[in-house]
Amino acid sequence: MPSDMAAQQGRKQGPGRPKDEEKRKAILDAACRQFLENGIAATRVDRIASEAGVSKMTVYAHFGDKAGLFAASVRSRTETLAEALADLPDPPADLRRALITYGTAFVLFLRSPDVLRLDLILATEAATHPEIAAAFYESGPGVVLGTVTGILRQACERGMIRLPDVDKAADSLVASWCHGPDWIAQRLALRGPPTREEAQERVQRSVDWFLAAHAVKPQD
Amino acid sequence: MPSDMAAQQGRKQGPGRPKDEEKRKAILDAACRQFLENGIAATRVDRIASEAGVSKMTVYAHFGDKAGLFAASVRSRTETLAEALADLPDPPADLRRALITYGTAFVLFLRSPDVLRLDLILATEAATHPEIAAAFYESGPGVVLGTVTGILRQACERGMIRLPDVDKAADSLVASWCHGPDWIAQRLALRGPPTREEAQERVQRSVDWFLAAHAVKPQD
DNA sequence: TAATTCATGGACTCACGGGTACAATAATGA
DNA sequence: TCATTATTGTACCCGTGAGTCCATGAATTA
């Protein structure tokens, strides 16, 4: 990622001691933890520095100011999460099984505490950091939506189901998997994340509705 | 609401000048606006006071401190919103029409900027103000879920549809109405609230799936 | 009228935390 | 070795904003 280096360092490795990449990583790591745990306002730069085992001046040397540190750390976190999403196995050929497999993975992903916190912070900060919010959407929910849309579109082309509007159908289907009142309750700390069984059961139910309503050939 | 008075004032109207209820209202009003707009940390008590046309001391006399002010203002806002939800018209007899009518109202409600902000702030603050979060859930999402569950249960009893688990079905159905990636995009300020037409179209689609999949009489 | 409580506004205290200054030291390229 | 840049620790500056103090005046009950 050379563009990243250019954007972050801005200097071509002139003479003198180079910046320590390990320290940079450590700072980003600590910053992620702190920002996710406390939000922007309540996070102390001093604490990040000490947790990273680094002096405060080093933090400012690498990232300029608190906002820059936030942006960089969220960006790195977003990339990490996006990789996790990209690592899903190939979809089974069977449509129903493909939807259930992916759906369960998505639910577990989208309701993991880290993603929940990240979503929360970015939603709070969307007004002041629109590019970050957009990047998060693209590499998180956008990927989920795109994958499901692809699966559905393919199934339509193969004549397995019939959908008047694939995009909207995908949106509603994903919604029915992930974001019910039950999910709201988790956001409000009224319950924990679902177990794998709960997630799967929930997705299976939605998928079965969906297929029952849209399948071309008669089924039960 | 006498319990409210007792909790807030604590004194039985002794001698001397009584507290001005209008000022109290004005303070709450300004506080709601500010907290919804900026969140807790970024809200300035001075600003609330000046916007309410009141001295800062008066704010502290009425609400003790910033946290108390926040709690009181969110409570009042939650009550207001709950009233809006309670004001919905009686459900039409027709099941499909009832679901669509309520669903559209819910979507417009849950995606209104105010509710979105409130949800966001409470989710952020859930750890430090669990009772407030719980109260919000009860009078917001909880009411929606309860209403839909009621409608579905009745329909089951009348033999119009068949559902193995009414509660979970209601959760998924509500989710498919409200909280797709499209909604996430709105939270991230990537799009605005849906129009009435969009909301209705979306709900209608979900309801039709649902009924197609669960109707007792033969379907295609 | 007297006693009591509320409200005002402005000045004030005080803790907190972002960001900087500086002097010393370490690592690197030339 | 020399110039250059990174890093450190500590001490510091300084804006900000929550919460308080106080002297004055207004509303209310007895």
Q: Look at residue B179 and tell me whether its pLDDT is greater than 90.
A: no
| B152/chain A closest Cα distance in angstroms | 15
The arithmetic mean of pLDDT across residues B184-199, rounded, is 93
A5 CB near a chain B CB, below 8 Å? no
Residue A210: its chain B contacts at CB < 8 A? 209, 213
Q: What SS3 class is residue A215?
A: strand
- Greater confidence (B104 vs B218) lies with B104
pLDDT of residue B220: 39
Name the residue in chain B with its Cα closest to that of A204: B172
Query: Taking a contact as any Cβ pair under 8 Å apart, which residues of chain A between 128 and 187 contact chain B?
Result: 130, 133-134, 136-137, 141-142, 144-145, 165, 168-169, 171-185, 187
Question: How far is Cα B19 from Cα A119, in angstroms, rounded to an integer?
Answer: 42
Residue nearest to nucleotide C26 (CA to C1'): A17
Q: Look at residue B4 and tell me whether its pLDDT is greater than 60.
A: no
User: What letter would DSSP give residue A162?
Assistant: -
pLDDT of residue B65: 96
The arithmetic mean of pLDDT across residues B121-132, rounded, is 90
pLDDT of residue B44: 97
pLDDT of residue B217: 58
Phi, psi at residue B154, to the nearest 5°?
-60, -45
Strand D near-CB residues (< 7 Å), B 18-37: 18
Name the residue in chain A with its Cα closest to that of B198: A168
Identify whether the C-beta of residue A118 lies closer than 8 Å to the C-beta of residue A36: yes
The low-confidence residues of chain A, meaning pLDDT below 70, are 1-14, 217-220
User: In order of start, what are the domains of chain A with their CATH numbers?
Assistant: 19-73 (1.10.10.60), 88-214 (1.10.357.10)
Record the tokens describing residue A187, joined without a space. 């956001």
Among candidates B201, B209, B74, B197, which has minimal Cα distance to A152?
Answer: B209
Q: Which of A9-23, B26-40, B104-118 has the highest mean pLDDT?
A: B26-40
Nucleotide nearest residue B23, measured CA to C1': C7
pLDDT of residue B13: 64
Tell me the percentage of chain B whose pLDDT exceeds 90: 70
Question: How far is Cα B86 from Cα B82, in angstroms, rounded to an integer?
Answer: 6
Name the residue in chain B with its Cα closest to that of A43: B41
Q: Look at residue B70 and tell me whether its pLDDT is greater than 90.
A: yes
